Amino acid sequence: MRDHILLVQALQHKATRENAEWYATFLDFAKAYDRVDQKFQFDVMAKMNIGLDFLRWVQLLYTKPEVQLLINARLSALVPLVRFYIEPLGAMLRTAPELGNPMDDGSSLTGVFFADDSTVLSNSLESADHQVTTIVGTFCAASGAALNMSKCTTLALNNNEVPKGRPSAPSIVLAASGEPIKFLGIYVGHNLAADYQAQLTNDNYLGAYAKWMC
């Protein structure tokens, strides 16, 4: 998680230093990955040459799996197991490296994934629009996942650039300069004050401390 946060911050620094038009789109899925079509999961595993014996064990886990946790010598209530499969989306984005953030070694970054948090990296608003509507859209159609488009936010990584949308990228909603965006528990943003996170934590602490003193 820490590495992912530092990566996005490093991309902001690089885009600003090189005055590059780079973007990060934070996706919001209306339906979690663990609730989508299970057949898609098995098809992906078979395509990736997962062995039949292992595949059968995974299929067994999908037969209403429930577990109990041992907490303080007591068994908890039944808890349903959940599964995630984000790699197919990452693989689909990587098939179009020309749309991502180009690196000095010739590679391209097209996405950042942690659990069910998905971030698409793009080198233009038009690239972001294509990645979200076409590539992510195809993934959703195949897997049963669903994007909550109204909650998907795009961050302009170049702090020299004024965030401004274009008609050629109608699906992209840009965050305003100075607007905080929560990413893996930490706030990032375009020209966000360097001490924003620290100040927010301090304010929350002082607010809670005042209640303790009452």
Rounded-to-integer distance, Cα 97 and Cα 135, Å: 12
Higher pLDDT, 195 or 123: 123
- Candidates 81, 169, 83; CA nearest to 122 is 169
Higher pLDDT, 4 or 83: 4
Question: Residue ranges per domain, the chain?
Answer: 2-36+83-213
Report helix, strand or coil for 56: helix
Say if CB 19 and CB 12 are below 8 A apart: no
Mean pLDDT for 166-190 is 94
pLDDT at 27 over 90: yes
Q: Class for domain 2-36+83-213, per CATH? A: alpha beta
Q: How confident is the model at residue 167 (pLDDT cuts 50, 70, 90)?
A: very high
Q: What is the pLDDT of residues 60-110, one digit of tens each?
A: 766 666 777 788 888 888 876 655 556 788 999 999 999 999 999 999 999
Angle 29-178-17 from CA coordinates, rounded to 5°: 95
Higher pLDDT, 83 or 213: 213
State the DSSP H helix or E strand holding residue 25, giving kind and residue range, or none if neither.
strand 23-26
Q: What is the pLDDT of residues 103-146, one digit of tens each?
A: 999 999 999 998 778 999 999 999 999 999 999 999 988 877 88
Say if CB 131 and CB 93 are below 8 A apart: yes
What is the pTM (predicted TM-score) of this model? Answer: 0.72
